Homo-oligomer: A and B are copies of this chain.
Amino acid sequence: MLSEFSLIDRYFARRASAPSPHHRDEAARPRGIGDDCALIAPPAGHQLAISTDMLVEGRHFFPDVDPRALGHKALAVNLSDLAAMGAQPHAFTLALALPRAEEAWLEAFSDGMFALAEHFDCALIGGDTTSGPLNMCITVFGNVPHHAALRRDAAQPGDDLYVSGLLGDAHAGLGHALSEWTTPDDATAMQWKRALEWPEPRVELGIALRGVAHAALDISDGLTGDLMHILKRSNLRAVVDADAVPCSDALRNLPDAARRQCALAGGDDYELCFTAPVSAREALAAIAKRVGVGVTRIGTIESGAPAIEWRDTHGAPLSLTLQSFDHFHAD
């Protein structure tokens, strides 16, 4: 059994304080663990974008989840919020409540977390460790030039509506784990599980969208609910081709209702949803190619009271019954 301080030292502080080869300017490197506070400053002309997410066992992940995947996902969902604002990851803090200090678990958890952190040159600068029911709270800091942050309230009538990547596999993985549906093959089950456990934050895409997209957010609670945030904050409506929403071949194996529930209202996708003027179509195609992430046009933004009008491929109205995710109602 490790004491609190040797635990912090062994699994977190050592790697937190390792100098990164990318931080050539010593003064710009955040001061890390060891004082009461970490000290950071955004570069001149930049703001700090800040987001915090709390993950709870049994609510956001299964008790038997691979701790390496959990370490990855705990940070990934926060980086996804930076991506949604077009911010460049810079640093993060980790607060961790653990029922017990298990070395194998901590090693895998920290490995998964630091692999992603190092990929984005995002330094662990502080944290807190306590005993308690498993809970992890990460707060992440990114740099974004003044007035360049992508926001939810900036959609314009006539904008195209886009999503990145494929939607629904994560929710399909959740439903599969809960035996709500079965898969025809193990490869599909693996693909869904991977989507659920190893989301890829669209950081490069978010940064590339600065000055191109109007409004943006990340899809964490399902397209329907999250798109409504853009519509309410921008006071506009959307017309969306439900069947244009990109999803994997694996998802097409599910019955229509289940597939649409996954793709249109399933949570945990961590893709970006954004609006952009029609004039940006060519630029967006080039950006998608450059960052290696698919970007699909799924509808248009129009004047009118905040609402989503679903259409099918032929433009006919679709009446969909979708349940958005709510931590105090969903199961």
Hey, which bits of chain A sit against chain B, CB under 8 A?
Answer: 1-5, 7, 34-42, 46-54, 56-60, 81-82, 84-85, 87, 93-97, 100-101, 125-133, 135, 137, 139, 141-142, 144, 146, 149, 151-153, 217-218, 233, 326-329
Contacts and interface: CB of A to CB of B under 8 A. Distances in A.
Nearest to A101: B328
Contact of A133 (B35, B96, B133): B133
Given A48-B48, A85-B36, A85-B37, A135 B327 contact: no
Total identical chains: 2
A56 B54 CA distance: 13
B37 A84 contact: yes
Contact of A56 (B52, B101, B130, B233): B130
Contacts of A133: 56, 132-133, 135
Contact of A95 (B34, B52, B81, B126): B52
A96 B95 CA distance: 12
Given A95-B54, A130-B327, A41 B35 contact: no
A5 B59 CA distance: 17
A50 B149 CA distance: 22
